[in-house]
Structure 1
Amino acid sequence: MNRFAKNINQFTEKTGRLVSWLSLLLVILIGLDVVLRYALNWSSSANQELEWHLFATLFLLGSAYALKHDKHVRVDVFYSRFSETKKAWVNLIGTIIFLIPFCLVVIQTSIPFVIDAWKIAESSPEPGGLPHRFIIKSTIPIGASLLLIQAISEVLTALSYLLNPANK
């Protein structure tokens, strides 16, 4: 169980580090967009769409990495005061009841959405917008799948902690 969770964590670490480079690209693109807009009075729909495509990709594909590093949103007012055992129970129950079903719903509902986008080779409706919008839509089920895989690791880690008295 621990070995499987470790393998998942290594995979998430690698994908997260790879995806994190998108943040640098996004910062450069936004900086360039600001300079072009204010210094040269030039703006582009394609630039703005690329910014939100990069942000969406970073968010969707980086969510598993954020979960792995415990950087996700939670009510820390209570959680931070819990013992390690209570934290493991909260992580286990919350992941099983909320996160895993959420991931499964997103995967199930987004796949037809993505297939339809690929069938019509969906592109931006904006004049001068980006083509191939179906590619960005594909990151929805991929991101949810990565998050699901990391959620499984979180369940295994919490179970391992709760079932092995030596870990406490």
Structure 2
Amino acid sequence: MIFTVLNRVARFIDQVNEWIGRKIAWLTSLLVLIIFGDVVMRYFFNTSSAGVFELEWHIFAAIFLLGAAYTLKHDKHVRVDVFYARLNEKQQAWVNLIGTLLFLFPFCIVVINSSYKFVENSFYFRESSPDPGGLPARFIIKSTITIGFFLLLMQGLSLVFKCIITIFNPSNNIKP
């Protein structure tokens, strides 16, 4: 019974992050087009804009922050696999469980707690770019810090549930 509940919650979190990740992936194409346009404007027309430059960084930040949970879901994050690859499925689940509980969760919680006030103040003051021609509504991109780490925390929770199922339910069909 408990494994069924853990499985359902893990699948729901996975579905949310899969949907967000697929939508965020389209931002990479948009970013390429914007950078291409910026390069053309700079080198052929000798003009540039602070707003375009900031937009490039904002889109990159959104891709990175909001796509981190999707990356974790697909196990594409950076890891040293020298020993991990040689472990069996249950041993890998233990490594993932311990690593998530000791490193991922505390890091996400610290970032969420420290960024929340930062984002709240930015919204309160309707922060915008200090640069002439810069983008308004900087508070929107700052909110992706808290949102992105919350999504990453939730994906970590999904990973923990899958690891528990792998370790303690040998008849499972879920891979962390």
Q: Same fold by TM (over 0.5)?
A: yes
Distance in 1 (CA, whole Å) between partners of 2:125 and 2:10 is: 39
* CA offsets 1:14-40 (integer angstroms, 9 cap, x no match): 111111111111011011111111111
Cα displacement (A) at 1:150: 0.6
Deviations 1:48-101 (A, max 9, x none): 100000000110000000000001111122222222121111100000111011
* 1:74 partnered with 2:79: yes
- Counterpart for residue 123 of structure 1: 128
Are 1:110 and 2:129 counterparts?
no
Residue of structure 1 aligned with 2:51, choices 46, 52, 56:
46
How far apart in 1 are the matches of 2:87 and 2:34?
42
| 2:8 match | 3
Partner of 2:77: helix, strand, or coil? Answer: coil
Deviations 1:113-156 (A, max 9, x none): 01111111111111211111111101111001111111100000
| Equivalent residue for 1:83, pick from 67, 76, 88 | 88
Unmatched 5+ stretches in structure 2:
1-5
User: Which AA in structure 2 matches 1:104?
Assistant: I
Q: Distance in 2 between matches of 1:57 and 1:91?
A: 26
Residue in structure 1 matching 2:99, options 94, 97, 110: 94
Q: Give the ranges of 4+ consecutive aligned residues of structure 1 lying more than 6 Å apart after TM superposition.
A: none
1:12 corresponds to 2:17:
yes
Matched residues in 2 for 1:118 and 1:157: separation?
36
Which TM-score applies when normalising by structure 2?
A: 0.92
Which residue identity is paired with 2:112? Answer: I
Give the number of aligned pairs: 168
1:161 aligns with 2:161: no
Q: Secondary structure at the match of 1:28?
A: helix
CA distance in 2, matches of 1:165, 1:135: 45
Cα distance in 1, alignment partners of residues 161 and 31 from structure 2: 34
Structure 1 residue 151 and structure 2 residue 156: aligned? yes
Shift of 1:167: 3.8
For structure 1, which runs of at least 5 residues remain unmatched after alignment?
none
User: Among the aligned pairs, what percent are the same residue?
Assistant: 58
